[in-house]
Amino acid sequence: MSIADPYRRSGQLDGKCLCGSVGLHIDGDYVAAIGVCHCSNCQRSNGTAWGAFQASPDAVRITGNVARYASAPFAERVFCPVCGSNLWLRDTDAKDAPYEFMPALFPEAADFPLISEVYSDRAPAYASFAGDHRRVTRAEYEAKNPHVEGDMP
Ligand SMILES: [Zn+2]
Ligand SMILES: [Zn+2]
């Protein structure tokens, strides 16, 4: 069983970027829980702690123009070209890869619990999260997952 399984939901969620020119609409399966990542790639792209929740690609509808940045050979980060809001991260090497949406764009996600913290040994002092959620160190994560070579602060 995946750690996310108890948090799987099906339904509608609506979000938007800061300026409102990008609309994010979910109608289908998503995970009502947040995973945080403290790798330098995620930290730098957000400018602070990075966290996201997943939605099934066939449930997602986007309105408005977006800009994309290939932050790794296997993933892209998508943002609003007008206001700069980070919108989502997504693996590009699998057609069925989930969208990993920035939770603050969706008002309802304020209730989603934190269930996972990756690169937990790299958490900056200003973003150390209390609780008994799952923690995965850099070494543990990189042993099992694709990552950016030489990920260093
Ligand atoms: Zn915007
Ligand atoms: Zn990361």
Calculate what percentage of the chain has a pLDDT beyond 90. 88
Domain covering 5-141, topology: glutathione-dependent formaldehyde- activating enzyme (gfa) (3.90.1590)
Structure tokens at 147: 């990552």
Report the predicted TM-score, pTM, of the whole model to 2 decimal places. 0.93
What is the distance in A from the centroid of ligand 2 to the CA of 114? 15
- Give me the pLDDT at residue 122, please: 94
**Which phi-psi region, left, alpha or beta, contains residue 64 (left: φ > 0; alpha: ψ -120 to 50)?**
left
What is the distance in A from the centroid of ligand 1 to the CA of 121? 33
Ligand closest to CA 77: 2
- Give me the pLDDT at residue 153, please: 46
pLDDT in tens, 88-106: 999 998 889 999 999 999 9
Question: Looking at the predicted structure, is the pLDDT value of residue 13 above 50?
Answer: yes
**CA atoms of 9 and 31, how far apart (whole Å):** 6
What is the distance in A from the centroid of ligand 2 to the CA of 135? 13
What is the distance in A from the centroid of ligand 1 to the CA of 33? 24
Secondary structure (DSSP) of the chain: --TTGGGEEEEEEEEE-SSSSSEEEEEEEEE-SEEEE-SHHHHHHHSS-EEEEEE-GGGEEEES--EEEEEETTEEEEE-TTT--EEEEEESS-TTPPEEE-GGGSGGGGGPPEEEEETGGG--GGGPPPSS-EEE-HHHHHTTS---TT---
- Give me the pLDDT at residue 3, please: 84
Q: Enumerate the β-bridge partners of residue 89.
A: 77, 100
- Identify whether the C-beta of residue 35 lies closer than 8 Å to the C-beta of residue 109: no
* pLDDT level of residue 149 (50, 70, 90 thresholds): low
- Identify whether the C-beta of residue 63 lies closer than 8 Å to the C-beta of residue 23: yes
